[in-house]
Amino acid sequence: MPELTYAQALNQALREEMWRDPNIVLLGEDIGKYGGVFGVTRGLYDEFGGARVRDCPLNEASIVGFGIGLALAGMRAVTELEFMDFCTYAMDQITNQAPKLRYIWGGQVKVPLVVRMPIVAELGFGSQHSQSLEAWFMHVPGLKVAIPSTAYDAKGLLKTALRDDNPIVFIENVKLYATKSEIPDDEYLISFGKADIKREGDAVTIVAISAMVPEALQAADELARVGISAEVIDPRTLAPLDADTIIASVQKTGRLIVAHKAHKTGGVGAEIAQLVSERAFDALDAPVVRVAAQDVPIAASQPLEAATFPGAKELVSAARKLVNR
Amino acid sequence: MELITAKQIELLKQMWRIRCFEEQAIRLYGEGYYRGSTHPYIGQEATAVGACAALRPTDPVLATYRGHGVCIAKGSDPQRMMAEILGKETGLCHGKGGSMHLADASVGFVGSNAVVSAHIPMAGGVALAQQLNHTGAVVACFFGDGASCEGIFYETCNMAALWKLPLVFVVENNEFAISTHVSESISVPHIAQRAQAFGFPGVTVDGCDVLAVYAAMSAAAARARSGDGPTLVEAQTIRWTRHSAVSAGGYGAGKDAERWRATDPIPRYSEWLVTQELIAPDEPARIEQAARAEIERAVKFAIESPLPAVEQLHEDIFA
């Protein structure tokens, strides 16, 4: 099987689905000849032309709004936001419009829309380009939210998203774009709402999101050396969330760490911790621990940025403390 | 573009349907038949009716929370509209939308939207789909003077002009936000002037003259259909009521009421039809009575319709 990077896998998913479905139109900034700010749409303009791979002016709100309009008219839109942080410009369209229209219009319309946006954390871009805002979208009924951590998952989930008739926020991660997976030659899809156990273990469960997944796997290696067996779960989609897989793991291990690069307060980790509290409180041998970014704006300077975000080291220390409690 | 007599009479019927519908919607709100609010179209009837008459039935239309008038003008069923406003199962949206979120896909009314200007880029996307699929359809996007101040309107103007989309922007300039007059919120005398910045035509018409609106809209639709891109049609109209049923009073007392009577699009058009000998002098009164009776039936239907079952709470979230 060929190895592809995360970015190449996304590109392949877009290419395959655009061949399969002539209704798919891509809208974004510099996604045409240039191939996207991080190269995800490279080559698609040459292959499918400017009518379907559309360079837009710099107006995130209208890019998503046009995507909704295309979807209302029976097409299927993929809109690219260059950095996740820029979703703030498009929030009305993403949260107030796309996920509501079908419901408030009594099922008369469908909104097949994929809003792609990458997290660009830990690369020195500073506070307005480095945020992980996935919790905002998980909060909104009517939206589906995917947040893959590997090239393999990215391809399978994006292909599924491109066949779904609902609005989907598809959260990528630039720090992961160069990481590789073996990608099967045969077509495959990954269902939403199915977590992946990235590593099995029985002493502590680590639910990790996006770039925290490779950190959790590294932490699990280190923990194994001191005799602690960690299970690493990647939810892969936050809406729908595969609570069953998480609960089953906690019932086995009795201990849970939720880990993300998003700020700690009001993050996805809080939601997962509460779900476990509601459904598996008796299985817990210790309080749930959150390993997350500090609640500070993200600084550009390297040591300040490094002190903001958690990594494998913080996970190892949290797990050791939790297991030896 | 010439109108045949039957269609000319239909314009009057539609304006009366809207007038009666809104009078009843206000009454029912006051009597506690529904909650939230409602944003009447009274005084603006000629804009929706004249503009929609210039479109084909297959042309998609998008409008605002002050959208009852456009919904009727596009051909929707007043019974199902009133039932929707009352939150009933038989409503256009099974009661989930209410007064501000009417939609009727069966007549190409791709909905009213309750966030000022949010539907404008969607109209751009619907127009882009018509262009990509060579449907020959034109999209009309109605919005108010307030929406013409939102940034997303300018974004869409730029994209629509750049891509020569089959789109007509219809600004229903009714002069007021809740209380702020356009002279205190808009930097140029005419909203239509704003089109110049994007290189497409902007025209200002008397929005209380149904034939003037029809003519301007016909020209704009023809231009859009021939591939020349968007037009901004500013209909100068007058809102007779407060912004919404829950807004504070004090709007439009004294002098304004005189002005409304002077510009009322309905008697004005009735007189024209009679003067032109297109209808008999007693015909306008008969048309009014028929509209009143039709809307009263709609009210009865709405009141007698069942409320949605709570089980429907979880339906239609996802396709």
Q: In chain A, what residues touch B92 (CB-CB under 8 Å)?
A: 105-106, 108
- Best of B58, B84, B104, B122 to disrupt the A interface by mutation (most A CBs within 10 Å)? B122
- Best of A108, A109, A145, A192 to disrupt the B interface by mutation (most B CBs within 10 Å)? A108
B243 has a pLDDT exceeding 90: no
Q: In chain A, what residues touch B124 (CB-CB under 8 Å)?
A: 62, 65-66, 69
Q: In chain B, what residues touch A101 (CB-CB under 8 Å)?
A: 111
The answer to whether the CB atoms of A65 and B316 lie below 8 A apart is no
B146 has a pLDDT exceeding 90: yes
Pairs across A and B, CB distance < 8 A: 134
Of A96, A106, A141, the CB nearest to B115: A96
Mean pLDDT score, B187-208: 97
Predicted pLDDT of residue B249: 62
Predicted pLDDT of residue B2: 62
The answer to whether the CB atoms of A165 and B319 lie below 8 A apart is yes
Predicted pLDDT of residue B95: 97
B251 has a pLDDT exceeding 80: no
Q: Which residues 228-287 of chain B have a CB within 8 Å of chain A?
A: none
| Percent of all residues in chain B with a pLDDT value above 70, rounded to a whole number | 97
Residue A288 binned pLDDT confidence (cut-offs 50, 70, 90): very high
H helices, E strands: number in chain B: 10, 6
Q: For the segment B259-269, what is each residue's pLDDT rounded down to a tens digit?
A: 778 889 999 99
The answer to whether the CB atoms of B125 and A69 lie below 8 A apart is yes
- B35 burial type by CB count under 10 A (0-12 exposed, 13-18 middle, 19+ buried): exposed
Residue A1 binned pLDDT confidence (cut-offs 50, 70, 90): confident
Q: Which residues 144-163 of chain A have a CB within 8 Å of chain B?
A: 144
Q: Which residues 275-304 of chain A have a CB within 8 Å of chain B?
A: none
Greatest distance between any 2 Cα atoms in chain B: 56
Mean pLDDT score, A217-223: 98
Give B12's contacts (C-beta < 8 A, 6+ positions apart).
Answer: B266, B269, B270, B273, B284, B287
* Chain A: residue whose CA lies nearest to B107: A108
A67 has a pLDDT exceeding 80: yes
Of B101, B128, B129, the CB nearest to A104: B101
Predicted pLDDT of residue B256: 72
CA distance A57 to A27: 10
Residues forming a β-bridge with A28:
A55, A80
> Known catalytic residues of A?
129
Residue B242 binned pLDDT confidence (cut-offs 50, 70, 90): confident
Q: What is the mean pLDDT of chain B?
A: 95
Mean pLDDT score, A137-149: 98
Q: For the segment B51-98, what is each residue's pLDDT rounded down to a tens digit?
A: 999 999 999 999 999 999 999 999 999 999 999 999 999 999 999 999
Mean pLDDT score, B283-303: 98
CA distance to partner chain A, nearest, from residue B152 (Å): 6
Q: For the segment B116-132, what is each residue's pLDDT rounded down to a tens digit?
A: 999 999 999 999 999 99
CA distance A313 to B4: 80
Residue B250 binned pLDDT confidence (cut-offs 50, 70, 90): low
The answer to whether the CB atoms of B128 and A69 lie below 8 A apart is yes
Q: In chain B, what residues touch A110 (CB-CB under 8 Å)?
A: 319
Q: By the CB < 8 Å criterion, does B314 face chain A?
A: no
What are the E-state strand segments in chain A? 3-5, 24-28, 53-55, 76-80, 113-119, 144-146, 167-173, 180-182, 196-199, 204-208, 230-234, 237-239, 256-263, 289-293
* Chain B: residue whose CA lies nearest to A52: B132
The answer to whether the CB atoms of B92 and A165 lie below 8 A apart is no
Q: By the CB < 8 Å criterion, does A109 face chain B?
A: yes
Residue B253 binned pLDDT confidence (cut-offs 50, 70, 90): low
Q: By the CB < 8 Å criterion, does B304 face chain A?
A: no
* Chain A: residue whose CA lies nearest to B137: A73
Q: In this structure, which amino acid lies at residue A293?
A: A
Range scoring the smallest mean pLDDT among A8-17, A23-32, A77-86, B247-256: B247-256
Predicted pLDDT of residue B248: 67
The answer to whether the CB atoms of B125 and A73 lie below 8 A apart is yes
Q: In chain B, what residues touch A25 (CB-CB under 8 Å)?
A: 128, 132
CA distance B307 to A10: 46
Give B25's contacts (C-beta < 8 A, 6+ positions apart).
Answer: B38, B40, B68, B82, B85, B99
CA distance to partner chain B, nearest, from residue A16 (Å): 21
Name the residue among B241, B237, B259 with its Cα closest to residue B250.
B241
Of B93, B125, B130, the CB nearest to A106: B93
Number of other CB atoms surrounding residue B88 within 10 Å: 21
Q: List % helix, strand, coil for chain B (3-state, nearest 5).
A: 50, 10, 40
What angle do helix axes B283-304 and B78-85 make, rounded to 10 degrees? 50
Region of A64 please: left (phi>0), alpha (psi -120 to 50) or beta.
alpha
CB A199 within 8 A of CB A231: yes
Q: By the CB < 8 Å criterion, does A48 face chain B?
A: no
B246 has a pLDDT exceeding 80: no
The answer to whether the CB atoms of B319 and A166 lie below 8 A apart is yes
CB B231 within 8 A of CB B203: yes
* Chain A: residue whose CA lies nearest to B96: A104
Q: By the CB < 8 Å criterion, does A110 face chain B?
A: yes
Q: By the CB < 8 Å criterion, does A88 face chain B?
A: no
The answer to whether the CB atoms of A102 and B318 lie below 8 A apart is yes
* Chain A: residue whose CA lies nearest to B103: A105
CB A85 within 8 A of CB A139: no
Q: What is the mean pLDDT of chain A?
A: 98
Find the DSSP H helices in A108-257: 134-138, 151-161, 212-225, 243-253
CA distance to partner chain B, nearest, from residue A172 (Å): 23
The answer to whether the CB atoms of B132 and A141 lie below 8 A apart is no
B1 has a pLDDT exceeding 60: no
Mean pLDDT score, A14-24: 98
The answer to whether the CB atoms of A103 and B316 lie below 8 A apart is yes
Predicted pLDDT of residue B262: 84
* ipTM of this complex prediction, to 2 decimal places: 0.96
B211 has a pLDDT exceeding 70: yes
Of A65, A102, A142, the CB nearest to B124: A65
CB A151 within 8 A of CB A13: no
